[in-house]
Each structure stands twice: as structure tokens, then as C-alpha cells.
Structure 1
Amino acid sequence: MTGPRPVARDSRGILDPWLLQQRVSFVRHGVPTDLAGLVDFVWAVRWSLPPGGNHRQEVLPHPSLNVSVGTPDARTGRTEPEALLNGVFLDLVDRELAGTGWTVAAKSTVGGFGAFVEDVSTLRDRVVPLDMIAGLDASTLLAAMGPDSEDSAAAEPHRVAVLVDGLGEAVSRAAPDRVAQAREVAAVARLAETDREVRRLDQLAARAGIGGRSLQRSFARCAGVSPTWVIRRYRLLEAAEAVRDGARVSWTEVAGALGYADQAHLVRDFRTALGRTPEAYAREVRQGRT
């Protein structure tokens, strides 16, 4: 497993990473080989905010699930650490941080948690107890994390290791055919993410050498969303990143570069997912950096 690295270049989905980096410690950790193709990375967040200085973080979700352990959202009123499984969310999500807290989490590859969950589509737009993952027990994991110490920086490496070990044990107990299918879906989704020429299901199926209907079934079970949705979400993440870079851009050119048929389709999808147009988001970016 590789050591921690600050979140810098690839902060796709985080709508205001510059503000996040000012207020919290946010690092990513690589994963060991037994989790390769199933877990993208492990991430850890720590914060200590002044009274009344709450931080609300908006995120455009990746087509992934997250196992998260740590301090609850401030709006819940709960303070004891909790262990949750966060399904794929179709729309913008947010979280509010207050006081002092921590989270360690594992972000799945697209389809990766199909190795542990019978039907990932049942978790779409849901947050459920971590016990939904076969082979992981929330109470055992929380106990192994140790007490909710104020010195969360010192405890962070141990907590990350506990989560990684727990997921590794879950993989070792999972059915090999399910693990193989989950990794196959993740590999196909990687094509959707990296190849901008892929705009439709038939193109992705051809690149992967898999029939379209078979691909749809595999994605529904392992990823919880359709291949077409995955393609569009990655294009939206890239579009938001282009806006966030701060340059004034031609949206017609951006739409073409990201695989959209025209600017109108890009703007429509952007507004639906983020609740504002690219131009409105660009204004927020400029104001946030001044």
C-alpha cells in the first residue's frame, strides 16, 4: 500500500477543493494488490473548526460506492463515530463538518463492491449500515479503530490500516466469480472514463468486446447504474473540472472535447447534476478564489 498523498490534481467531483484544503486535512492512500480493481483508493479527512465555523462540502459523486467510518454529518446531531456504506448517488450531495472530527473511507472502483454486495442497484441514492457488505461487521471495525481520540492525526494511519485489512478479509471470503465480475466491470468502466471517443453503450461494448445487454446486466448488479450513466457522469466530472480550472472557455469546444453532441446537451446535464449552469459555477469559482 502506498503512503498518503494530499489531494491536489485529481479532485474531480469536489466543487470547491481550494476551500476544502484550507479547512481540512484530506489525503489519499493507495491500496494493496488484493484490493486492486475493487477499491480505487482509501481517503482520510481530519478537521478542527472554530465554534460556528461549520464547513459545508458539495460533491458531484463519482459512479462509485464509499465505505466510511468516522464522525457523523454535523446536521444529524450525533457525535459517536459510525460505519456506513454510501451507495452511488445520482445527484449532488453535501456534508457538513463542525468542531473536531475525522473520517477514513474507501472509494470503490466502478463496480468494485459488486464483489461484496449481491445487487448494488439496491443501494442507489442510499446510505446504509456497513453490515450490508458481506464479511464486514460495523461494530468490530469501530472497536478496532480505537477510541475517538482528539489526536486524530496520530490515530489516522492505524485507522486506515484497520479499514484496509477489513476489506482485504472481505475479499478473501467473497465468491471468486463475483470478485472476477466486479473487476471486469471496473476495467470496462475505466475505458468509459479515459476514452473520450466513447459516447454510447454500443461504443463501450465494442471497445470491451462484450455484448451490450450483458454489459448492462453486469453494470446494474455490480455498479448500481447503467454504462450510459457512467459515461455521462465522467463527462460531467470533466466538464466541472474544466470550469473549475478558472479559464474562460468556449462551451461549444468543451462539449465537443468531452463527447457531447452539442453545447445544449452539456449545459442541460450540467444544470441537472449540479443545480447551476456552467457559467454560474464559473462565477462561483472566480468569487471563491478572490
Structure 2
Amino acid sequence: MRAKLGAGHDREIEEPRHEGTQMEPRSVDQDSRGIIEPGAFQRRYQLNRYPAGSALEGLISWFWVVSWALPPGQTHTQELLTHPCANLFVSPQEPPMMDEHLGPTVAELEGVVLNRSSRRMAGEGICVAAMTTPGGLGAFLTGPAGEYNDRTVRLGTAVRSDDDALVREIGRAQGEPAKVGVLRTALENAVRPERVIVAREVAATARLAETDRTLRKVEHLAQKAGTGVRTLQRMFAEYAGVSPTWVLRRYRLLEAAEAVRHGDRVVWARIATDLGYSDQAHLVRDFSAAIGSTPAAYARSLS
């Protein structure tokens, strides 16, 4: 993949590839980043991930389907530390996931969540969704992605979508791949072509932030992407809704939480230095705000 960020720059970005140009989504066992206490999640829910497809490459990270069947009268609230991405949800049945602001979920857009996110599940249901890339959301909008940070809105109010028809068609589709196919087609039709190129450029740069551990500051990221810091910041604000620095730090927090989950030794002082924190205490404070507990307490909760 190439990223062209700024006039006169063309820099190669190395990414692992599977099955042609698509990266294959990994299972929760392989990658539980973003799911707080993934063991508890897996006891209650079935989660499968599906590839974006070539038309949405660079705009959608993957599609995902979660299903559940809780005993009558029982609910469960799942805490999440979200990726620096948005999610587009469709739940075609009652009782679906419950959102404290919208009530029963039908079709909705959840922008980038800056701290923790939570979903309360009840009864039996299924949710079909797409997680954008950092920057991918901007390809579906007419304005800044940041307008949806920490917000959940009806999908059709933000993206070109006939929500009622989409919910009906997903409800009629038989099997998860078919349901994903309905949402994939709807999003392919919702893309705004004039915004795709820059959205993919932002996503490619965010991919560098995710995978290149040598990148510690926005200046390093801008240099690797071949553009200026201010240009990069403007592009991320418009298409990702968050700053490049925030993306770098969020991916490192996700990595740290995943390392704790696997029982790996995490050198917090080194991570704090790498990410430009004034001291380790500031990093631990950010981790605690995002996860809901200190690193030591989180590790104990997983044992």
C-alpha cells in the first residue's frame, strides 16, 4: 500500500498481506485488544470477524458479528476499550443490545470513544457490524469525523443509509456471511468517492502507528508518512476524528492491556518514555482511566 500525504511525497508502507490484498481478521483468542476481561466475554458471547472486501479496503478494518443467549431476566454489561475507530451496528431483532441514549439498537453509528465504552446485552440476539479503520469513517461523511466522538446516532442521520430497509434485509438473510454481505453492500453504496483517497491515506498512516513500534511521537509518524506535522494533524482531525498522537497512545494502551492479559511482563517506565509521558505515573493513570483499574488490579482480575 502506498500513502501519499502531502504534495510531492510518495512513501511505501509495509503491511502483512493474506489472500491477495486483504488481511484476514484474527479470532478473539488471537487478538482480544479492546475487550476488557475477554474471558468473561467469551463465556457469554460468540464473536466472529469477517474481511472488509476489496471495495472497502482501507476504509473498514473488518466486519464482526456477535451473538448471545442470556437466561431470561438476566443482563450483562460488557466493557470495551475501543480502537481509534468508529463502529456501524445493525441489530435486526428484539430484544437487541440496549443503548442508554437510543433505547433498543436498530441501526446506529458509534463514533470514536475516547475512554471506555459499554454495551448492555439482554435476552437472545445478534448484532452485525463494521469497524472502520482510523480515518475510514471520513469516507462516509460530509464533515469532520470528530463530530461523532463519544456519540451514538442513528446510522441514517450520518451515513447514506435506508435504515429500515437495511434492518429488514439483514434480518431476512440466512447465516452470518449473508448478513455481513448485506451490510458490506450497503456500505459500499454509502461511500463518498471524493473523500476515499484521503481517508485511505489517513488509514495507512494510522496503520504505521499501530504496527511500527519505533514510532513514538507525531513528528516520527509524520516523517515516516512523508508529510508535515500540521498537515497530518488536519487530515486526522477531519477523517479520523482524533489526533495522530492520540492514535499512537491508544494503540500502545491496547497492546499493554493485551500483554497483561497474556501474563507478559510489561515495562511501564519504558512505554511511558516511548510515548512522551512525563513519568510512569501519568501512563498508569491513563491506563486506569481507559480500563477502569490499575495495571496490577487488571492483571489480578484475569488470573
Common fold by TM > 0.5: yes
Cα deviation digits, residues 179-225 of structure 1 (max 9, x gap): 00000000000111111221211111101001111111110010001
Structure 1 position 259, deviation (Å):
7.3
Structure 1 position 250, deviation (Å):
4.5
Q: Which of 188, 191, 196 in structure 2 is aligned with 1:168?
A: 188
Q: Percent of aligned positions with the same letter in both sequences?
A: 49
Pair 1:10 & 2:27 matched: no
Structure 1 position 137, deviation (Å):
2.0
Output the aligned Cα RMSD.
Answer: 2.4
Structure 1 position 284, deviation (Å):
1.0
- Contact 1:246 1:285 (C-alpha < 8 Å) held by counterparts: no
Pair 1:193 & 2:210 matched: yes
Aligned to 2:155: 130
Q: How many residues end up aligned between the 2 structures?
A: 277
Equivalent runs, 1:1-290 vs 2, <5 Å? 6-70=27-91, 71-73=96-98, 78=103, 82-117=106-141, 118-146=143-171, 154-171=174-191, 174-176=192-194, 178-247=195-264, 249-252=266-269, 255=272, 262-286=279-303
Cα deviation digits, residues 222-269 of structure 1 (max 9, x gap): 000111111111111111111111345543355567776653232122
Aligned partner letter, 2:130: A
- Give the distance between the partners of 1:7 and 1:276, measured in 2 at CA: 22
Structure 1 position 4, deviation (Å):
8.4
Cα deviation digits, residues 24-83 of structure 1 (max 9, x gap): 11000012111000000000011111124422211001100010001232767955x500
- Contact 1:2 1:29 (C-alpha < 8 Å) held by counterparts: no
Cα deviation digits, residues 150-174 of structure 1 (max 9, x gap): xx9x543322111001011123xx1
Alpha carbons of structure 1 residues 114 and 4: separation in structure 2 relative to 1, 3 Å: closer
- Give the distance between the partners of 1:129 and 1:77, measured in 2 at CA: 8
Q: Which runs of 5+ in 2 are unaligned?
A: 1-21
Aligned to 2:3: none
- Give the distance between the partners of 1:175 and 1:75, measured in 2 at CA: 34
Alpha carbons of structure 1 residues 241 and 200: separation in structure 2 relative to 1, 3 Å: same
Aligned partner letter, 1:265: H
Aligned partner letter, 1:67: L
- Give the distance between the partners of 2:24 and 2:226, measured in 1 at CA: 36
Name the SS for the 1:59 alignment partner: strand
Instruction: Name the structure with the higher helix share.
Output: 1
Aligned to 2:14: none
- Give the distance between the partners of 2:159 and 2:102, measured in 1 at CA: 29
Q: Which runs of 5+ in 1 are unaligned?
A: none
Name the SS for the 1:217 alignment partner: helix
